[in-house]
Structure 1
Amino acid sequence: MSITRRNFIKKTGATAIAVPFLASPLQFIYPHQPDDALEVHLFSKHLQFLDLKEAGRIAAELEFDGLDLTVRPKGHVLPENVKTDLPKAIRDIKNAGSACKMITTAISDVHNPNDLNILKVAAGEGVKFYRSDWFKYHKSLPMQESIGIYQERIKELGKVNRQYDIIGCYQNHAGTNIGSSFWEVKQLLEKVDHDYFGVQYDIRHATVEGGLSWENGLRLLKDHIKTIVLKDFKWEKVNGRWELVNVPIGEGMVDFRNYFQLLKSYGLNPPVSLHLEYPLGGAEKGHDKITVDKKLVFDAMQKDLLAVRRLWKEA
């Protein structure tokens, strides 16, 4: 399977540039039918203890479709070094037999030179999607005014995205930042060009915040979904208090079968970033040194990937 994928990349990579521009960028970079296998990319945060040549090799051997590369503070590529380091990073990943069409960033403002450099260089290297930073409410302002400020930020990002032909994504995320509520995310996107900025939909965080109503959130945001994140969790009593405990795919509270069935019913088969946030000796937190054997981490990655593919097929 991985050999076939690599051969496909070699045969089509050179000709992809020649494909004429389409009315919607997703028609080319998001061509899969709902029942096709998911395109699963491994979040490079969990391989921060490896250089990118080795990370790319591991992703290819485990039969991931590519790496979702961290291009942010403490990431594989630092924002201030993006002009020199990002082209080399993507070249190393490709030479190792993998691919990089997704990056995770702290991009938030077109007036930040580092943010602009990331967009320009990433797009030039064939990256199709980036995840932006999260926004926080201004404590001195009414909540709705904060959202209005960030609507303009995203609108500006969308214009630059169109210029460079790259798509931005805002991740829904449990907590108190803007975007824990589906309606907050919907409002953030009101003014932006929807072809060039949308949602990185995270079902784990959606289930945490949405409880029984996450299906409504998915329905609300379905037309904005560009990429998705997959991970799992459960509530557990720890020292007498209920806490979120992250677990492997399929072992927690996320209703993957129902979620995948809904995605298929909406005609969605977006690129996936697979996250592993349960204990893995520090790999789950992006540490550059881990306290467990690397094989344990690689085995967990392969187990989660197989679980995702099985659950998608069964849905």
Structure 2
Amino acid sequence: MKKEITRRSFIETSVLAGVGATVLPAFSQSFLNSKDQRSDLEVHIFSKHLQFLDYRDMADAAAQMGFDGIDLSVRNKGHVLPERVKDDLPKAIEHIKAVGFEPKMITSGILSIDEPFTKDILETAVKLGVELYRLGYYKYPKNKSIPEAISDIKKQLKPLSKLNKHYGIKGAYQNHAGLDFGASIWDIHNAFKVLNNGFMGCQYDIRHATVEGGKSWPTGLKLIAPHINSLVLKDFKWALVKGQWELVNVPIGKGMVDFKAYFKLLKTYKIQAPVSLHCEYNLGGAEHGRKDVSLPQKEIFDAMKQDIERIKALWAAVE
């Protein structure tokens, strides 16, 4: 992977610009080992937003910003490409571990056991200690009814769930607003009723649940709670753009997601799952996973750092 920046320029533009490159490894390790710096909500940064960095600088940046880990993208146009997973995933995990992180989660595009790189990804990930992967997204075909489509999706999920059990890794399907499978929490619940081996669950996304559910999202959360094995945090608002109402992604706490109510329910239901922070508001292209970002790196890091600080403050404020 081509380095986009030098290690010295990374340090000079980071959120901790005063920390010299010669002391960075020791700083990162002590930072991560300090219990008072952590929240009991384990927050990982989605590496899609750091794809302008190589593996080492990505890990260093995540550590400096105060994250608890990295949700590594292992998919087409990701940090690790599926066809190179055997060679590149070990390299990425090596740097993730070097700053004291455990490689708990990755994001894939996997939908079936029959896809070319499914087994390569899962085998390699498990060998490196990865505990959970996010799947891709199932589409609703135009030529089939919704019940027929869900039946077909179950036929793909069931053998994939068995493969997960074989390898000892958990799969997670993200609820995502729109017209595909999983926009409605009831879709996922319906499909997961037959998957009771504990190796396939839901990556619950409160932003998308709020978009689709409005004020009813707590009902969906209660329904899917037993299946949640990971979480996604991000925020949004509706805005009038050129005469049309559109969804606009914003930093954590600046939008319509009711984090106080949400965090209270997570604590009530005793849902303890790793969190992936998605920064989908304007970050000079980093929000889309671009490698040629248009904002100074320090601005991107500062924005992410503010997100995690708001998350931890909101979490701590809820009894």
TM-score by length of 1: 0.89
Residues 231 and 274, structure 1, Cα contact 8 Å, conserved in 2: yes
Q: Which moved more, 1:274-283 or 1:96-105?
A: 96-105
Amino acid at match of 1:82: V
Amino acid at match of 1:53: R
Give the secondary structure class of the aligned counterpart of 2:106.
Answer: strand
Amino acid at match of 1:299: D
Residues 53 and 96, structure 1, Cα contact 8 Å, conserved in 2: no
CA distance in 2, matches of 1:3, 1:82: 27
Q: In the alignment, what sits opposite 1:120?
A: 123
- 2:179 paired with 1:173: no
Please give the root-mean-square deviation of Cα atoms over the aligned residues, in Å.
Answer: 1.6
Amino acid at match of 2:68: D
CA distance in 2, matches of 1:53, 1:257: 35
Amino acid at match of 1:267: K
**Cα displacement string for residues 204-253 of structure 1 (whole angstroms, at most 9, x for unaligned residues):** 00000000100001011000000000000000000011000010000100
Q: In the alignment, what sits opposite 1:159?
A: 162
- 2:40 paired with 1:37: yes
1:127–1:5 Cα change, 3 Å: farther
In the TM superposition, what is the alpha-carbon distance from 1:165 to its structure 2 partner? 0.8
In the TM superposition, what is the alpha-carbon distance from 1:8 to its structure 2 partner? 8.4
Spell out the pairing of 1:1-315 with structure 2 (5 A cutoff).
3-4=29-30, 6-7=32-33, 37-315=40-318
Residues 155 and 193, structure 1, Cα contact 8 Å, conserved in 2: no
CA distance in 2, matches of 1:88, 1:274: 23
Amino acid at match of 1:46: H
Residues 103 and 131, structure 1, Cα contact 8 Å, conserved in 2: yes
Q: In the alignment, what sits opposite 1:25?
A: none
In the TM superposition, what is the alpha-carbon distance from 1:51 to its structure 2 partner? 0.4
Residues 232 and 247, structure 1, Cα contact 8 Å, conserved in 2: yes
Gaps of 5+ in 2: 1-26
1:38–1:97 Cα change, 3 Å: same
In the TM superposition, what is the alpha-carbon distance from 1:307 to its structure 2 partner? 0.3
CA distance in 2, matches of 1:7, 1:263: 25
1:37–1:4 Cα change, 3 Å: farther
Give the secondary structure class of the aligned counterpart of 2:118.
Answer: helix
Gaps of 5+ in 1: 10-35
In the TM superposition, what is the alpha-carbon distance from 1:4 to its structure 2 partner? 5.0
Amino acid at match of 1:253: M
Residues 130 and 167, structure 1, Cα contact 8 Å, conserved in 2: yes
Residues 59 and 98, structure 1, Cα contact 8 Å, conserved in 2: no
CA distance in 2, matches of 1:199, 1:257: 21
Residues 28 and 60, structure 2, Cα contact 8 Å, conserved in 1: no
Give the secondary structure class of the aligned counterpart of 2:133.
Answer: strand
CA distance in 2, matches of 1:127, 1:309: 25
CA distance in 1, matches of 2:33, 2:215: 43
Of all paired residues, the percent bearing the same amino acid is: 51
Give the secondary structure class of the aligned counterpart of 1:234.
Answer: strand
In the TM superposition, what is the alpha-carbon distance from 1:62 to its structure 2 partner? 1.1
Residues 158 and 193, structure 1, Cα contact 8 Å, conserved in 2: no
TM-score by length of 2: 0.88
In the TM superposition, what is the alpha-carbon distance from 1:3 to its structure 2 partner? 4.1
